């Protein structure tokens, strides 16, 4: 069974997520990818990777991914957040960090850490 990696990005970090995915495309092919709606759409269309998408963050997609984490169905989370200009409609990272901590799931909030998390999964 493949490990599952969740991808989430605030609006101003979506291009950075795409760059990260393209830079790690061959490695990411080895995982089942899940994402919130817009992030997943970008990855699917521009990187050509298969990805399961949930609702957008403001509609609860991050909570859907949180439920998968709680059920031990996610191996790692990459949540590229914008710490300076996050908008009120964007997913709240606090609840997602909490559920990852409760279930001992690695979570990366920037590309430097994301690369290390991917290395640790191999």
* pLDDT, tens only, 59-86: 999 999 999 999 999 999 999 988 777 5
Evaluate whether 36 touches 55 at the Cβ level (below 8 Å). Answer: yes
Position of tokens 């709240």?
92
Summarised one tens digit per residue, pLDDT across range 21-44 is: 999 999 999 999 999 999 999 999
Residue 42 lies in a domain: yes
Residue 88 lies in a domain: no
Candidates 104, 58, 106; CA nearest to 79 is 106
Evaluate whether 26 touches 96 at the Cβ level (below 8 Å). Answer: no
**What total number of domains does the chain contain?**
1
Other C-beta atoms closer than 10 Å to the C-beta of 72 total: 10
Residue 87 lies in a domain: no
Record the pTM: 0.93
Is 62 noted as a catalytic residue in this protein?
Answer: yes
Range of the domain at 67: 4-81+93-121
Catalytic residue among 11, 23, 32, 62: 62
The CA distance from 44 to 28, in Å, is: 12
């Amino acid at each position: 069974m493949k490990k599952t990696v969740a991808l989430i990005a605030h609006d101003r970090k979506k291009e950075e997520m795409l760059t990260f995915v393209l830079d790690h495309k061959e490695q990411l092919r080895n995982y089942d990818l899940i994402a919130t709606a817009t992030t997943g759409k970008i990855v699917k269309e521009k990187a050509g990777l298969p990805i399961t998408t949930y609702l957008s963050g403001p509609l609860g997609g991050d909570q859907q991914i949180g439920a998968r984490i709680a059920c031990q169905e996610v191996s790692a989370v990459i949540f590229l957040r914008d710490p300076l200009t996050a908008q009120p409609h964007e997913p709240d990272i606090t609840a997602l960090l909490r559920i990852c901590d409760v279930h001992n799931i690695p979570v990366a909030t920037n590309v430097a850490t994301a690369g290390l998390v991917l290395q640790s999964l191999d």
